[in-house]
Chain A
Amino acid sequence: MAEAYGKPPNQGRILTIPGQIVSLLVLVTPLVVALYMSFTDWSPTRSGLKDASFVGLENYQELLIYDHRFLQAVGRTALLAVICLSLEFVLGLGLATLFLRTFRGKRFFFSAFLTPMMVLPVVVGYTFWMLFQSNGPVNQVLALLGLQGLEWFRDSTLAFVAVVLTEVWHWTPLFFLILFSGLNAVPENPIRAAVILGASPRQVFWKVVFPAIKPVIIVAFVIRAMEVIKIFDEVFLLTRGGPGSATETISLYIYKLAFNDFQLAYGAAAAFLVLAGSLVMVHLLLIPVRDQLLERRD
């Protein structure tokens, strides 16, 4: 026994080997295979992957230079991200500020406002699909207001708006929650000090509160941006990318490449481009607050 106690580090490492093997098989291998695949012209309907010919950067070249549908999907996803995140931030911050005060039923509304983000994306997608039908509740409400009903899924812009509304409804609570906890953690005395020194409420917010919650805001943006880039369920259920490809996001396009056209190699290349893009974006987003986040506190 004493000997066994003498060598715990090695033993510990040995014990992790099965786990390492599993993660190697499950996580690393598919990634490496997919990366290799993205440099071939493999299609499962033609041959096995080992017989596929190596085409170098051809898939990437095709995607970045000639595939307008891919580039449009990227642009559309970016636009979706910018619009959704802006709305979610503004609404979330507004709600969070409201919740700093005391009012009747605060606990109830707090829970109520957080509920949407707990609903499964599939359920959200299905529900909003139903809501936006030609004779669905949204149009009925519009009719009550004396307005003409809209063909939400037949018009490119309206379909995009429907996707934005769904996404904003679904994920504003996350911004609200993160910003609310951020605001709650802002110490009170610097705010009081600023007031005594003559700062207006606006100055207090921008000069004292905002810098204090900036890391929290960025983290919220990073989390949500990554989610929006990956958005699939809601769009798939609402519009399937239509009409035409008016609401086709990256995930949806890659899905179609892989499962409608069986262009697995090409789809893999697209996926790696998105991964690279996301990595760059996340790092760029984090630059302004990296020092603040990593700073050691004594």
Chain B
Amino acid sequence: MIELIELTKEYPGSSQPAVDRLNLTIFKGETIALLGPSGCGKTSVLSMIVGLEKPTAGDIQIDGQSIVKVPVEKRGIGLVFQDYAIFTSMTVRGNLAFGLTVRKTPKSEIASKVNDTASFLGLTPILDVKASRLSGSELQRVALGRTLVTRPSILLLDEPLSNLEPEARLATRQELRRLRQELGLTIIYVTHDQVEALSLADRLAIMSFGRILQVEKTSVILEKPKLVQVAQFLGSPPMNIFQGFFHQDNGYLAFRQGAVDLRLPFKSLSPKVELGSARFYHLGLRPEDLDFTEESEPFFRGQVSGLENRGFDSVVSLANGNLEMKALDPQNVFTWGETVAVKAKAESFFLFDKSGRLMEGQLFEANHD
């Protein structure tokens, strides 16, 4: 078990800490992804765990023992860099053997360990090839192998899939799952790509500005974004978020952002939710939960202000005044400038309070229709 306790990293000359009092517990044998935009501090976290950088404050513990003062090479942690950081002047064998050679391991032991790792990763046929001649996925397997030869119990991966071709990504994903199963490794990896995060990890830790916003099982995080920032980050395209207040208008409930009213499919609000311009909320709705409609009083009516054809569907941006939302059009039928109406089911709405926290429980009562 690895525990990051109030972990903080400040770089000189920077006003904001790169990592800010971060707490996270990582269980033995699990795969966890730190997901966040570039510059959110996720690589700094990896650097501190592996020992390339010292925390400004806070502690890192493995099974209850602080490792902050333990030298890098004694931590038993492996790191695979995003660019693989292969020693290009050596052969594959030289790369794999490096961690053992520098520790003055006996030659016979090096040979057997290198051969084992090579066959485990399918590198045996290219053992004597110069590393400068390898392809991207081969480089990655060499980088993995070079780390695994030293038998780390924890493996850190920096953007493991981002430099690979789509086919190689699939293979690598399977490879990493196999590693975890057969070697019982704890894997921590960082990525800014949610697909990469969702496809590999048991749990996701979503990071922003050096802090963790939410840690959640991968299988449920899309359904349970606890914070509006998380909702805005996840999904492709991410959730539509409207900022405004609820009000009653001519017998129906509406949510007003700026001068635009969104007509809600609710009969009433629960007592927890208050009406009136003094009560500010974030209202969330997934693009995939919006349906196009012909009805005369829809949830929203706007002009098509953007179209992004993704092959199997289009992302349609609809705008009215300063309010814009995205919806998915599986038939690719809309054109620029066209006026389009959308509706949504009551159960697909997410409500976040003023500070951005998800409000849970029954909040609305749906219309009967």
Report which of B52, B87, B103 forms a contact with A198, defined as CB distance below 8 A: B103
B87 / chain A contacts, CB cutoff of 8 Å: 190, 193-194, 207-208, 211
A203 / chain B contacts, CB cutoff of 8 Å: 102
Say yes or no: is A196 at the interface (Cβ < 8 Å to chain B): yes
A-B contact count (CB 8 A): 63
B102 touches A198 (CB 8 A): yes
B90 / chain A contacts, CB cutoff of 8 Å: 211
A197 touches B73 (CB 8 A): yes
Main secondary structure of the interface of A (DSSP, over half): helix
B150 / chain A contacts, CB cutoff of 8 Å: 197-198
Given contacts A197-B146, A197-B150, whether A192 and B102 have CB atoms under 8 Å apart is no
Given contacts A192-B52, A295-B132, whether A197 and B85 have CB atoms under 8 Å apart is no
B78 / chain A contacts, CB cutoff of 8 Å: 196
Which of the four size classes fits the interface of chain B?
20 to 34
A187 / chain B contacts, CB cutoff of 8 Å: 83, 85
Please, how many residues of chain A have a CB less than 8 angstroms from a CB on the other chain? 20
CA distance A197 to B145 in the complex (A): 12
Q: A183-227, CB under 8 A of B: which get 1 and which 0?
A: 000010110111111111001000110011010000000000000
CA distance A258 to B103 in the complex (A): 61
B85 touches A199 (CB 8 A): no
Report which of A197, A200, A211, A295 forms a contact with B99, defined as CB distance below 8 A: A197
Min CB gap A83→B, angstroms: 29
CA distance A196 to B72 in the complex (A): 6
Say yes or no: is B108 at the interface (Cβ < 8 Å to chain A): no
A198 / chain B contacts, CB cutoff of 8 Å: 72-73, 99, 102-103, 150
Say yes or no: is B81 at the interface (Cβ < 8 Å to chain A): yes
A190 / chain B contacts, CB cutoff of 8 Å: 85-88
Q: B74-108, CB under 8 A of A: which get 1 and which 0?
A: 00011101010111111000000011001100000
Which residues does A use to contact B, with CB under 8 Å? 187, 189-190, 192-200, 203, 207-208, 211-212, 214, 292, 295
Some 19 contacts from A to B, beta carbons below 8 A apart, are A187-B83, A187-B85, A189-B85, A190-B85, A192-B81, A192-B85, A193-B79, A193-B143, A193-B146, A194-B87, A194-B98, A194-B102, A196-B52, A196-B72, A196-B77, A203-B102, A207-B98, A211-B90, A292-B89
